[in-house]
Structures are given as C-alpha cells and as structure tokens.
Amino acid sequence: MDNKGISPLIAAVLLIAFTVAIATVIMGWMSTTTRTTTGTITTKTATAVDCSDASVQIKHVYINNNSSDGIFVCNTGFKDLTVDGVIYSTTGATCDGTAVSISAGACGMVSSPSCSAVNASTFDRAVVSTDCGGVTDTLTDSSYVN
C-alpha cells in the first residue's frame, strides 16, 4: 500500500498562501473603493459648505415683449453665483432666460429678450436657479410683473 499525496506541512503552507493572496486582493479592492468614496464625499461636502451661504431673490419680472424682458434678481447671499431663469405662462408657454453671473450682494437681469410667448395677463410664475444646487427662487405674485 503505497499512498501518495500532499504532506500535511505542504497542505498547511498552501492553505495559508491561498488565504493571504485572497486577503490581499480584498484589501486592495476595499482600499480603492474607500479612497474613491472619500474623494467623492469630500468634493460634495466642499460644494455644500461653499453654497451654504448662497441665496437669491427675484425682485421684478419684466414682460413688455421687447429687448428689456427678463427677471431682475438679487444675490442676497455671500457667494458669487451664476443665475438662470424661466418665465412661465398660464397657457404652458415659457421664455428661457440667459444665464448671468451676479456677485454677492449685487443684482442683475436674467434677460429673455422679446418674450412674446408670455405677457403680463398670462404670467404664471418666474423661476430662477443657480450653479449652487437647491438655491432657487420662485415668484408667483403678478404685482411684481409689468
């Protein structure tokens, strides 16, 4: 009876080597995943903190169907912003505004030249958004429209 096989010592060494190899692969994957997630969260956190003191307010909407149509907006926060806007009518028509950069504490016009799709009698709302996610304003009061 001549049985041939792996000696217990070689089997133990192979088992330990296999376990170390698998652990190394898993550690490398976890390290890469952790680094990527940390970088993404850091970027989002920095953006959120940077935008935490940003705010805008619509002061007036001009709809005269001429070149001075648009939304007059003030940057009431402490961060320079790029502001974009849309004017909506009760009929579903819209006038898209041209984005404008407004410094902190300043005001500016999001222009919608010759906005013929909306007029003062069909005005529904004006909405502005910024390059800081969630920093928006909506005006529905037609007394601020002319």
Residue pair 129/136 in contact by the 8 Å Cβ criterion:
yes
Residue pair 67/114 in contact by the 8 Å Cβ criterion:
yes
Q: Is the domain of 46 the same as that of 60?
A: no
What is the CATH classification number for the domain harbouring 102?
2.60.40
Q: Is the domain of 76 the same as that of 125?
A: yes
Q: Is the domain of 68 the same as that of 46?
A: no
- Report the C-alpha gap between 36 and 30 in whole angstroms: 10
Helix (H, G, I), strand (E, B) or coil at 102: strand
Q: Is the domain of 123 the same as that of 93?
A: yes
Phi, psi of 20 (to 5 degrees): -65, -40
Q: Is the domain of 34 the same as that of 90?
A: no
57-96 pLDDT per residue, tens: 999 998 877 777 899 999 999 999 999 999 999 998 898 9
pLDDT grade for 9, boundaries at 50, 70 and 90 = confident
Q: Is the domain of 86 the same as that of 125?
A: yes
Q: Is the domain of 116 the same as that of 68?
A: yes
Q: Is the domain of 88 the same as that of 104?
A: yes
Q: Which of 126, 34, 25 is nearest to 71 (CA)?
A: 126
Q: Is the domain of 60 the same as that of 120?
A: yes
Q: Is the domain of 46 the same as that of 65?
A: no
99-144 pLDDT per residue, tens: 999 999 999 999 988 778 888 888 899 999 999 888 999 999 888 7
End-to-end CA distance of the chain: 106
- Please give the tally of structural domains in the chain: 2
* Structural domain that includes position 14: 1-50
Average pLDDT over residues 13-23: 95
Q: Is the domain of 61 the same as that of 126?
A: yes
Q: Which residue has the tokens 């806007």?
A: 85
